[in-house]
A and B are shown apart, each in its own frame.
Chain A
Amino acid sequence: MPPIFEITFVTYIAAAATYVIYFVNQNKKVRSAARMTLVVGGILHTIELIIRYFVVGHTPITSMHESVSFFAWSMTWGFLVFRWRYRVKNFGTFVSLGIALLMLVASMSSHQIIPLPPALRSKWLPVHASIALLANAFLALGFCGGIMYLLQEREIKARRFGLFYSRLPSLEALDNLNHHCLAIGFPLLTLGIITGSIWAKQAWGAFWQWDPKETWSLVTWFIYAALLHFRFTMGWRRRRAAIMSIIGFGACLFTLWGVTYLLGGLHSYAG
């Protein structure tokens, strides 16, 4: 297999580095270069996933390496599609750093192809896993928005303007970003849990067995549900919403990694 994953990884790092340079000097040419590099990275990544699909013989979404790589791929395209619909100043810097970090994790996990256990041989595998990871990607974008919100708010509140005040968009725009990410991520998360449950019924004969991964995805779901609920009833917007989306994403990551490494359970063979 050609080292296409490594090439993709390096391209993403280059994109993130260029975005960081753009963030500092705010030169529009640098931004175009960064964006082009990210698009190239996204295309290479797509090719890599297709090749891996044919090499392993099923959707490459089962091992830790595969699932995190798919997570990063979703985040890249989620961002690029998002950007096409509406723009958030300097969002790319934060997102590209996130993507590069995910790719770092993916590159450090074993690339070995694991033969698919019989329980996973189902048409529900690509459906459930890709929806769940896509949900993660949008919630990760919301997490970036939350971080940006807190950075911007801190400078406005402290009345001392440093690196971020002029570079980050308005608090309103960042809050909207957070909400939009949630508006896409939350239904996907719900759908991910439902499809998982249907698949569980098919594979193990029960919709819900309270295995750690199921439990933690439910915890994550409740955090985001609470955020949405209170947003409309109590005005949990802005700062509180930003903090909640950061906590929620923490729960997402724990569901993805923490459960696998710390708690085990039925999902432990998968990512």
Chain B
Amino acid sequence: MQANKLLVIGVNHKVAPVEVREKLAHTGGAENPVLALKELPGNRECCFLGTCNRVEVICASDSPEETAVGVRQLLFARSGLDDTEAQKYSYTHQGVDAIAHLFRVASSLDSMIVGEPQILGQLKNAYRDAAELKSLGPILNKFINKSFSVAKRTRTETNIGGNAVSISFAAVQLAKKIFGTLEKKKVMIVGAGEMAELAAEHLISQGIGEVVVANRTLERAITLARRFNGSAVSLDELVSELETVDILISSTGATGLVLMRDDVKSIMHRRMNSPLFLIDIAVPRDLDPKLNDLDNVYLYDIDNLKDVVDVNKSERKKEADSAERIVEEETLKFVQWLESMQVTPTIVELRKKADALRVAELQKTLANLKNLSPKQIKSVETLAAALTNKLLHNPILFLKDESSGPSQKEKLEFVRTAFGLDEQ
């Protein structure tokens, strides 16, 4: 079965704690691992998605079991866990399950915050990167693109995005519980990542007073600060700047801690003990976990924010259920499509269609030519058979040839359209 070639191996917030996830994420300048993944035995196509909550490896493989072991080995290489443990902290979906899983991920049904919109953009980026590195083939091309359209469908047909709350939304809620109002409050964004930008946008829409951006490279900080009408500082000024900041959102790609407990302790009296809300959305973490021990300091990391979200989860449950049904339906359709989109069945269909035409036309012609001898009838039949065979010869070669020309998927689609194979 064609669908069984599909494999999705991943780690998310449900199966592994931050401590395990942060040893997997290919943060910062780390090379996209698709090329290494593609070298695995049996693997033909692959795509890698790494966000701060999850890692997903999407493969199309001729020997899925073997590939799965290899993928886990690569994913968990830095954590020092063996394959049994790696299996405990990850999931491996194959075939129909893999299809349903990716569709759920793209539709944000598997997100920490169901319905949050970021994941689709992240998946699109992963797809683009894989395309640039040429690790995609006809199957994944169609598969991942299909997941985009499923996501779009769930978003337009259900309301999961309507009251979608992202991590930044959860953080805004919490900030309001601490500060009452966000007016005149100052937020500092450390690290100029996509998540931080989203959080800042959210805070601005909720009326935050002032934005400061701190980044390793000042230029990037200045660009981002300009977008928010804020100011920019370098990372060295982080602690002194913190004296006037109320909310800090950190999402740097740094491997170590950026802010320590004692740094903040020393400035609390100069802050007149006004509360400080620290949000760590980076993996690996940026902020010292001991910061939460300080009076009037509230530290939340990504797993903690999940709790805030659980408070109003039930309202979205219903919408999520109807989205799940769409995913099921689309999964079934995709499996059917996969089965049809193969070279062999296409060739068989092509021959069948040609034979049917040949037989039909022969019957019509022979009905009109009533005084033919059996020898002549035989000649006409040979003529028809030769015509159809010779006409089909090149298209079939074109389909079977995997080495050159357009992608397999394009070829199949082209041939199927040209010969009208999908018309009823």
Tell me whether B311 and A156 are in contact (CB under 8 A).
no
Tell me whether A236 and B273 are in contact (CB under 8 A).
yes
| B228 interface residue (CB < 8 Å to A) | no
| B180 interface residue (CB < 8 Å to A) | yes
Tell me whether A156 and B174 are in contact (CB under 8 A).
yes
Chain A, residues 208-238, CB within 8 Å of chain B (1/0): the string is 0000000000000000000000000011111
**Closest B-chain residue to A170, C-beta based?**
B180
The answer to whether A240 and B295 touch (CB under 8 A), given A165-B311, A171-B178, A235-B273, is: yes
| B206 interface residue (CB < 8 Å to A) | no
Chain A nearest CB, measured from B222 CB (Å): 32
Chain B nearest CB, measured from A95 CB (Å): 20
Q: Which of B270-305 contact A (CB under 8 A)?
A: 271-275, 292, 295-296, 298, 300, 304
**Closest A-chain residue to B181, C-beta based?**
A172
Chain B nearest CB, measured from A240 CB (Å): 7
Chain B nearest CB, measured from A263 CB (Å): 35
**Which residues of B lie under 8 Å from residue A156 when comparing CB positions?**
174, 177-178, 298
The answer to whether A239 and B295 touch (CB under 8 A), given A170-B180, A171-B177, is: yes
| B179 interface residue (CB < 8 Å to A) | yes
| B308 interface residue (CB < 8 Å to A) | yes
Partner of A238, one of B176, B296, B310: B296
**Closest A-chain residue to B305, C-beta based?**
A159
Q: Which of A162-177 contact B (CB under 8 A)?
A: 165-166, 169-173, 176
Chain A, residues 136-154, CB within 8 Å of chain B (1/0): the string is 0000000000000000100
**In the complex, what distance in Å separates the CA atom of A159 from the CA atom of B177?**
12
How many residues does chain A have at the interface if contact means C-beta atoms less than 8 Å apart?
A: 21
Tell me whether A237 and B179 are in contact (CB under 8 A).
no
Tell me whether B298 and A170 are in contact (CB under 8 A).
no
The answer to whether A159 and B273 touch (CB under 8 A), given A170-B179, A171-B178, is: no
| B227 interface residue (CB < 8 Å to A) | no
Which A residues contact B (CB, under 8 angstroms)?
A: 152, 156-157, 159-161, 165-166, 169-173, 176, 234-240
Tell me whether A157 and B311 are in contact (CB under 8 A).
no
Tell me whether B274 and A237 are in contact (CB under 8 A).
yes
Chain B nearest CB, measured from A220 CB (Å): 24
Q: List 6 A-B contacts (CB under 8 A).
A: A159-B307, A169-B180, A170-B176, A170-B177, A239-B295, A240-B273
Partner of A157, one of B269, B271, B292: B292
**Closest B-chain residue to A173, C-beta based?**
B180
Tell me whether B295 and A171 are in contact (CB under 8 A).
no
**Which 7 A-B residue pairs are closest in the complex by CB-CB distance?**
A235-B272, A172-B180, A235-B273, A170-B180, A159-B304, A170-B177, A173-B180
**In the complex, what distance in Å separates the CA atom of A105 from the CA atom of B422?**
87
**Which residues of B lie under 8 Å from residue A176 when comparing CB positions?**
180
Tell me whether A161 and B296 are in contact (CB under 8 A).
no
**Closest B-chain residue to A238, C-beta based?**
B296
**Which residues of B lie under 8 Å from residue A166 when comparing CB positions?**
311
Tell me whether B271 and A235 are in contact (CB under 8 A).
yes
Which among B181, B304, B307 has the highest number of chain A CB atoms within 10 Å?
B307
Tell me whether B178 and A172 are in contact (CB under 8 A).
yes
**Closest A-chain residue to B310, C-beta based?**
A161
Which among B177, B179, B298, B310 has the highest number of chain A CB atoms within 10 Å?
B177
**Which residues of A lie under 8 Å from residue B174 when comparing CB positions?**
156
**Which residues of A lie under 8 Å from residue B274 when comparing CB positions?**
235, 237
Tell me whether A159 and B275 are in contact (CB under 8 A).
no
**Which residues of B lie under 8 Å from residue A170 when comparing CB positions?**
176-180
Chain A nearest CB, measured from B88 CB (Å): 25
Chain A nearest CB, measured from B16 CB (Å): 19
**In the complex, what distance in Å separates the CA atom of A112 from the CA atom of B296?**
50
